[in-house]
Chains A and B, each alone.
Chain A
Amino acid sequence: MKTNSLKRLLKDTFSNNKARCLAVLALIIVSAYANVRGSMFMQNLVDDYITPMLQSNHPDFGPLTAAILKMVAIYAVGVLATWLYNWISVSISMRTLKGVRDDLFQHMEALPISYFDTHAHGDIMSVYTNDTDTLRQILSQSIPMAVNSLVTIISVTITMLILNVPMACFTLGMGVIMIIASRNVSRKSSHYFRGQQKSLGKVDGFIEEMMEGSKVIKVFTHEQQSIEDFNKINDQLFEDASNANKYANVLMPILGNLGYISLVINALGGSLLAIHGMAGLTLGTIAAFVQLNRSFNGPIGQISTQLNAIVMAGAGAERIYELLDAPVEVDEGRVTLVNGKKVNGQWVECNEHTNHWFWRHPHDNGIEYVELKGDVRFHDVYFSYTPDKEILHDINLFAKPGQKIAFVGATGAGKTTITNLINRFYDIQKGSITYDGIDVKLIKKADLRRSLGIVLQDVNLFSGTIMDNIRYGNLNATDDECIAAAKLANAHDFIKHLEHGYQTQIDGTGENLSQGQRQLISIARAAVADPPVLILDEATSSIDTHTEKIVQDGMDKLMAGRTVFVIAHRLSTIQNSNAIMVLDNGRIIERGDHDDLLRQKGVYYQLYTGKKANA
């Protein structure tokens, strides 16, 4: 599974950068060739030049000069090839990283809401940060290094076999031992590294929890106890960390010294063979083998140090593809929202912005235009998040244009769920929901959502200016329109008192704004979108009475003249509604206006008066 993801990633990388990858491969071969050629030169140097010259009375340096100049040329090409393949590898890895990031983000934006419900936000973030980072490591380092090492090992092996078979076998045999040793050490080390990762996670979790609760610790004089608890898991982390690092640390000494042992055995064997005049060994060959031996053992060490990175990248790639393979929202809608204008007393579709909107409904026998009014109806709607647990049962309701429908009921009764069905954050299993008489499933999601405004209880803002955040509701809105929306939402008063007014930079977390101010901005954001239907989730948070009044007033102005579905907490909102739906366990158990429901003396009455009915 892990190797598959990695394979897929490499395949994708290759097919997106074919020419570059092939160039890198070719350049690596050139670079490795220059390197091996250098080791072979040792033999020539000793056997063909130095030894004959030593025996000659008038040594001629001419041939050596020529040979060295040739080596200079080969080396120059080698260095150039090394630089070029590094340069191109950077391009490949950076492009791939950017591609992965962009794909991840675009895919994420297309995922259904349920994905975000079922995946921890921290985990989604970590795909972008940690997992993408492991890819950088292997793409720009491990993979080129591994390819280079592999090419070097192969060419060195061939060279050694050409030079001398018995000596080559010594080196290869020691190479196998080194590979086995490094595999064992890496296995041990990765075992302990997993342990360390786990304890580290535990320590992180503990610290986070205790930092959040640090004031509670003080109030309960629990400091000593928490220090003791911390020491326990901290000691465990130390155990795991020192074990993991121990194994990681000894890998290089083991490989390095096994390399020396290999070198010594090689030199010993070679010398004995040479002295006894066997196997045609010359001094030059031995000298070359000393070099080749190092060129052979070096890459083994390099590959084993990269193994950990490759394993980690495998896990990272798996999580990346998990996100990229998650199914996106399906949208089979064909009905779109279009502008219309009156030509000779007839409404016709047009491209310019007219503020008159129509649903464009293509049928087999022509196109039907339906005026956008904001009439929403639920017919026998059933819904569940997971197949085994039905959340909403048999919901029927209708909201005519301009009507206000309030939902009341206990936490978990299904209020929020109902509102999430209208804009198709979730799809219903049975029944139908219609908008201006058209089944919402037939409407393109983007157009459906454009016709619905939403103000949620938890306000989410985005980094940028306040103006940007208001304009989020309608990207075509002018500054004046945004300011008008802010005025309507009662947000203008506080914004104009800020030092930079509408150009004040805010943060997604909105640290520099109060809860009430954030709500006002989100109301303005909905106002600038100017949709015929609004979904409101009234805030329950304890903002003070004065601010609450301002927010409430802003909400009231926003609601005027629109179809509104409101999850209500405030009595005044509920009293002004055309219909109140009392929900309990996913069913509408009472409905009617305020006075009707009080007369019924049911659950609503009980909620309202705090008294049991018939008491």
Chain B
Amino acid sequence: MIRTILNQVKEYKKASWLAPAWVALEVILEVFIPYMLSIMIDQGINQGNVNVVIRCAVIMLIASFISLFAGFQSGKYAAIASSGLAKNLRKAEYKNIQNFSFKEIDSYSNSSLITRMTTDITNVQNAYMMVIRTCVRAPLMLVASLFMTFRISPAIGRWFLWAVIFLGIVLFSVTIIVHPIFNRLFREYDQLNKSIQENVNGIRVVKAYVREPYENERFARESSIIFKIQRRAERILTINSPAMQLTAYFLIIAISWFGAHMIVSNTFTTGGLVTLFTYIMNILMSLMMLSMVMVMIVMSIASGERIAEIINQKSSLVSPENGLTEVADGSIDFQNVYFNYGKNDQADEYVLSNINLHIPSGSTIGILGPTGSSKSSLVQLIPRLYDVTAGEVKVAGRNVKEYDLDTLRNNVAMVLQKNVLFSGTIKENMRWGNAQATDEQIEAACKLAQADEFIQKMPDKYDTYIERGGANVSGGQRQRLCIARALLKEPKILILDDSTSAVDTKTDALIRQAFRDQIPNTTKLIIAQRISSVQDADQIVMLDNGKIQAVGTHDELMQTNATYREIYETQQKGGDFDEN
């Protein structure tokens, strides 16, 4: 995991080295200044030597300014290195996610991917900054200060060492005890947030059933649990600062007592005494920082692992080298196709089995079947969004695996069931289909998809801004825009996966009419719930439970297929009364 993360440091390697180097210089100077102070007191003030006093002061001032500069530099390079790493990690994740096939997209939820690219990266970024800065500074400061203490007085140095060990143990035990409590706290937080979310989203239900008192009670219960856990954790943490003080005071007393004895017996100096007091604070602060840094690093390990998982995730579906870059026509063949979403070896249950189908170029095919009958799975094999488990899918007589992936998908346009528009103008959205499309081409495609009429009624027409996810157009309008976007690819094969469900029957018919008249050579596959959407197709495929139940024209199926007839009759009787 760590290697994957560090591989992304790339062009920020230099900054990553410079930051700790400058930190080291800063620490050395910061330890040096109090030492000079002891010389100034002992050899200058005590002896009444003005020259020594001034010389020491000038040296210390210069050291302070250099240290200030070093602090600037380390801060700057640490910021650049950590932000740079964050940038590269985000870039690497994003790039790799773009390489995911549908299979990988399915296996990560959106919210999980988003967390991995936002919160997790921020955690790693902060931890990295800590590592190249604080993790250098704190131990170095600790060691250097201890070293100087021993130099000034080995006897007192030993006291320091014991104090450091004592405080170290206290701080780390507190961290270890508190860590699992905080983990529990975060889980409870999630629970609480979920319950708030449900109330915000379902406020109409809450109010309609007059459940405000009930929800208040429930919430108060959950927030009490959080109150108790959090109070417990924070109370344990309150040990930290008195423990620090205790250690500091203990050392001050010890230095005062032993220092006084040693000064009197001439084995120690007043200057040394003053300097030691300064080192106490340096050492304590270093320990405090170290314990904080440890927590942050531990917390970021989980984030780092989640990020590495994305970067290292291999796509299960890759474009062949030197794949075919031309699709000759729009004919499709399924030959003994079996498919399941799981791994290839666990072939116990197929989503599609024994599919054999020949679809001539330019024909219109309707696909019907109940939810879960694998209609979508069937068509997603054509643009190779998934690979078959066994058998072959052919387009224009060649196995889809032989085609260059981009070529194949550019020639097989698909309007997904769960379709989205992106924030941007209608034109910008349309150009997803063809980046070079002229305004005329866009208008023609929208006319074909029966979208032009409502676009013309919008205040900014084709420059109307579409909100994220297409929030400001109705479901039926969104579907028509998605169809137009797919048409702009001028594909050999067009697949509509339940893409007109929110479009009224009349417009639906107009779209199909336009398909017949204007793109007769394109093979059209239409998945639908409504029989009226497919009844004039050249062939209708009835799917059930992943198997082809029947194939035929509307009239044939009406005569031979009982299920088809039944659906037809229910829909005639209790049909939709919908409009847009």
CB distance from B193 to the nearest CB of A (A): 6
| B574 close to chain A: CB less than 8 A | yes
> 25 A-B contacts, Cβ less than 8 Å apart?
A31-B245, A50-B260, A82-B245, A109-B206, A205-B468, A219-B383, A220-B489, A235-B87, A241-B125, A242-B83, A243-B79, A248-B75, A249-B79, A250-B72, A253-B74, A258-B68, A268-B53, A275-B45, A408-B577, A450-B209, A454-B208, A508-B198, A545-B567, A568-B577, A571-B573
A410, closest chain B residue (CB): B579
| B399 close to chain A: CB less than 8 A | no
| A363 close to chain B: CB less than 8 A | no
CB distance from A522 to the nearest CB of B (A): 8
Give chain B interface residues in 550-580, CB to chain A under 8 Å.
567, 570-571, 573-580
| B303 close to chain A: CB less than 8 A | no
Is B256 in contact with A68, judged by CB distance below 8 angstroms? yes
Chain B's interface size range is 35 or more
| A613 close to chain B: CB less than 8 A | no
Q: DSSP majority for the B interface?
A: helix
Bound together, the chains give a CA A372 to CA B118 distance in angstroms of 55
Map CB proximity to B onto A539-553 as digits: 1 under 8 Å, 0 otherwise: 010111111010010
Is B200 in contact with A116, judged by CB distance below 8 angstroms? yes
Map CB proximity to B onto A34-55 as digits: 1 under 8 Å, 0 otherwise: 1100100110011001100110
What 5 A-B pairs come out closest when comparing CB atoms? A253-B71, A249-B75, A460-B202, A245-B79, A508-B198
Given contact pairs A125-B197, A203-B118, a sample of 5 additional A-B residue pairs in the complex whose CB atoms are under 8 Å apart: A218-B385, A219-B413, A234-B87, A425-B204, A454-B209
Partner of B414, one of A212, A219, A265, A529: A219
Is A75 in contact with B227, judged by CB distance below 8 angstroms? no
Residues of A within 8 A of B40 (CB): 267, 271
| B113 close to chain A: CB less than 8 A | yes
Partner of B204, one of A68, A254, A454: A454
CB distance from B499 to the nearest CB of A (A): 11
Is A275 in contact with B409, judged by CB distance below 8 angstroms? no
Bound together, the chains give a CA A507 to CA B206 distance in angstroms of 16
Residues of A within 8 A of B419 (CB): 216
| B142 close to chain A: CB less than 8 A | no
Bound together, the chains give a CA A249 to CA B423 distance in angstroms of 37
Give chain B interface residues in 195-244, CB to chain A under 8 Å.
195-212, 214-216, 219-220, 223-224, 226-227, 230-231, 234-235, 237-239, 241-242
Is A607 in contact with B577, judged by CB distance below 8 angstroms? yes
B252, closest chain A residue (CB): A38
Residues of B within 8 A of A453 (CB): 208
Partner of A90, one of B67, B78, B235, B413: B235
Q: DSSP majority for the A interface?
A: helix
CB distance from A567 to the nearest CB of B (A): 11
CB distance from A544 to the nearest CB of B (A): 4
Residues of A within 8 A of B48 (CB): 275
Residues of A within 8 A of B458 (CB): none
| A61 close to chain B: CB less than 8 A | yes
Partner of B245, one of A79, A87, A220: A79
Bound together, the chains give a CA A254 to CA B68 distance in angstroms of 6
| B548 close to chain A: CB less than 8 A | no
Give chain A interface residues in 488-524, CB to chain B under 8 Å.
507-508, 514
Give chain B interface residues in 482-499, CB to chain A under 8 Å.
485, 489, 498
Q: Known contacts A125-B196, A286-B41, A545-B567; decide if A207 and B117 are in contact (CB<8 Å).
A: yes
Q: Known contacts A90-B234, A213-B422, A287-B270; decide if A463 and B194 are in contact (CB<8 Å).
A: yes
Bound together, the chains give a CA A68 to CA B78 distance in angstroms of 45
Q: Known contacts A222-B432, A238-B87, A508-B202; decide if A86 and B238 are in contact (CB<8 Å).
A: yes
| B46 close to chain A: CB less than 8 A | yes
| A256 close to chain B: CB less than 8 A | yes
Bound together, the chains give a CA A215 to CA B424 distance in angstroms of 18
Q: Quick check: which of A12-20, A223-231, A391-399, A429-437 contacts chain B, the rest being far away?
A: A223-231
Q: Known contacts A271-B44, A290-B274, A544-B529; decide if A508 and B469 are in contact (CB<8 Å).
A: no
A200, closest chain B residue (CB): B118
Q: Quick check: which of A94-102, A306-314, A344-352, A557-565 contacts chain B, the rest being far away?
A: A94-102
B572, closest chain A residue (CB): A571
Is B210 in contact with A449, judged by CB distance below 8 angstroms? yes
Bound together, the chains give a CA A215 to CA B199 distance in angstroms of 31
Bound together, the chains give a CA A453 to CA B383 distance in angstroms of 48
Bound together, the chains give a CA A42 to CA B573 distance in angstroms of 99
| B435 close to chain A: CB less than 8 A | yes
| A176 close to chain B: CB less than 8 A | no
Residues of A within 8 A of B197 (CB): 121, 125, 508
| A105 close to chain B: CB less than 8 A | yes
Bound together, the chains give a CA A73 to CA B46 distance in angstroms of 32
Residues of B within 8 A of A607 (CB): 577, 579
Bound together, the chains give a CA A543 to CA B406 distance in angstroms of 33
Is A208 in contact with B60, judged by CB distance below 8 angstroms? no
Is B235 in contact with A217, judged by CB distance below 8 angstroms? no
Is B242 in contact with A569, judged by CB distance below 8 angstroms? no
Map CB proximity to A onto B355-372 as digits: 1 under 8 Å, 0 otherwise: 000000000000000111
Q: Known contacts A53-B260, A75-B253, A78-B249; decide if A462 and B193 are in contact (CB<8 Å).
A: no
Is A272 in contact with B193, judged by CB distance below 8 angstroms? no
Bound together, the chains give a CA A271 to CA B245 distance in angstroms of 30
| B99 close to chain A: CB less than 8 A | yes
Bound together, the chains give a CA A257 to CA B80 distance in angstroms of 22
Residues of B within 8 A of A41 (CB): 252, 256
Is B97 in contact with A260, judged by CB distance below 8 angstroms? no
Interface residue count on the A side (C-beta < 8 Å): 154
Bound together, the chains give a CA A525 to CA B208 distance in angstroms of 12
CB distance from A198 to the nearest CB of B (A): 14
| B105 close to chain A: CB less than 8 A | yes
B233, closest chain A residue (CB): A90
Residues of A within 8 A of B435 (CB): 225
| A368 close to chain B: CB less than 8 A | no
Is B270 in contact with A571, judged by CB distance below 8 angstroms? no
Is B30 in contact with A82, judged by CB distance below 8 angstroms? no
CB distance from A591 to the nearest CB of B (A): 16
Residues of A within 8 A of B457 (CB): none
Is A219 in contact with B385, judged by CB distance below 8 angstroms? yes
| B107 close to chain A: CB less than 8 A | no
CB distance from A202 to the nearest CB of B (A): 11
Q: Known contacts A101-B223, A294-B281; decide if A456 and B204 are in contact (CB<8 Å).
A: yes
Residues of B within 8 A of A472 (CB): 205, 209, 211
| A283 close to chain B: CB less than 8 A | yes
Residues of B within 8 A of A253 (CB): 26, 67-68, 70-72, 74-75
Bound together, the chains give a CA A449 to CA B203 distance in angstroms of 13
| B506 close to chain A: CB less than 8 A | yes
Give chain B interface residues in 12-59, CB to chain A under 8 Å.
26, 30, 33, 37, 40-41, 44-46, 48-50, 53-54, 57
Is B270 in contact with A283, judged by CB distance below 8 angstroms? yes
Q: Known contacts A71-B256, A140-B234; decide if A264 and B117 are in contact (CB<8 Å).
A: no
Residues of A within 8 A of B215 (CB): 105, 109
Is A570 in contact with B579, judged by CB distance below 8 angstroms? no
Q: Known contacts A53-B264, A260-B64; decide if A87 and B98 are in contact (CB<8 Å).
A: no
Is B223 in contact with A82, judged by CB distance below 8 angstroms? no
Q: Quick check: which of B88-96, B161-169, B322-330, B513-521 contacts chain A, the rest being far away?
A: B88-96
CB distance from B11 to the nearest CB of A (A): 11
Bound together, the chains give a CA A207 to CA B112 distance in angstroms of 12
Residues of B within 8 A of A257 (CB): 64-65, 67-68, 71
Bound together, the chains give a CA A244 to CA B345 distance in angstroms of 51
| A91 close to chain B: CB less than 8 A | yes
Residues of B within 8 A of A268 (CB): 53-54, 57
Is A283 in contact with B410, judged by CB distance below 8 angstroms? no
Listed residue (B30, B79, B95, B220) with the most chain A CB atoms within 10 angstroms of its CB: B79
CB distance from B476 to the nearest CB of A (A): 9
Partner of B208, one of A90, A101, A256, A449: A449
CB distance from B136 to the nearest CB of A (A): 13
Give chain B interface residues in 409-429, CB to chain A under 8 Å.
409-410, 413-414, 416, 418-420, 422-423
